[in-house]
Chain A
Amino acid sequence: MVTKSTAAERTRASTEPGVLALVIVLAWLVPGAGHLWQGRRQKGVIFLLALPLMFVTGLLLGGRLFPLQLSEPLVFLGAIADRGIGLPFLIARFMEAGAGLVTAVSYEYGNTFLMTAGLLNFLVILDAYDIAVGRK
């Protein structure tokens, strides 16, 4: 007989290293997915809406998705922050968005939105990890 696993059972199971890694990857790839998977529906839905929307706003404001250039430390850090959002970043790259319009008045605003969305998702990933190991 097949039974559906409850959120509590998933939380208990998530203390296993493989499952923990899955939670982290899932939470990185889709903002809020780590929370949704662990039964924190309200938080997950808010992250799922707010973070990609913030990322898209950054793109609309003419922000740039920075390349991973070790020769330019600040650009490299910006690139790490950009990649924190996961799937929206990959989709934007696939669609060749985020070239950045340096002459746009909102260029720096766009960059700030893009990087902050990624950095906030890093915090969301840590929160999902804390839930998975039973700290929250």
Chain B
Amino acid sequence: MISHFWTMVLFAAFVSVVFAVLLRDAPREQVKTGGLMLLAFVAVAYVLAWLLYPLPL
């Protein structure tokens, strides 16, 4: 069983790959867009997680 974090990274990776291939035609551009998208997904999720951490949910 993988952790919550790595499950989220795996999800972000799948979505990034599909969106990058849909949006770009050149393989080099696809890799660049996919990489940036993956980083953005993970960074936003990480920041949101820390912002929500003190809330009593």
Write the residues of chain A forming the contact surface with B, with a CB cutoff of 8 angstroms.
Answer: 42-43, 46-47, 50-51, 53-54, 57, 61, 105-106, 109, 112-113, 116-117, 120, 123-124, 127
Contact = CB atoms under 8 A, between A and B. Distances in A.
Interface of B: 1, 4, 7, 10-11, 14-15, 17-18, 21-22, 27
Contacts of A112: 11
Contact of A116 (B4, B7, B15, B22): B15
A106 B1 CA distance: 9
Contacts of B18: 46-47, 50-51, 120, 123-124
A54 B21 contact: no
B17 A113 contact: no
B7 A109 contact: yes
Contacts, number: 39
A13 B1 CA distance: 48
A58 B46 CA distance: 22
B14 A109 contact: no
> Top 5 A-B pairs ranked by shortest CB distance?
A54-B14, A120-B18, A46-B21, A109-B7, A50-B17
B4 to A, nearest CB: 8
Contacts of A124: 18, 22
Contacts of B15: 116, 120
Contacts of B27: 42
A43 B21 contact: yes
A42 B25 CA distance: 9
A50 B14 contact: yes
A61 B7 CA distance: 9
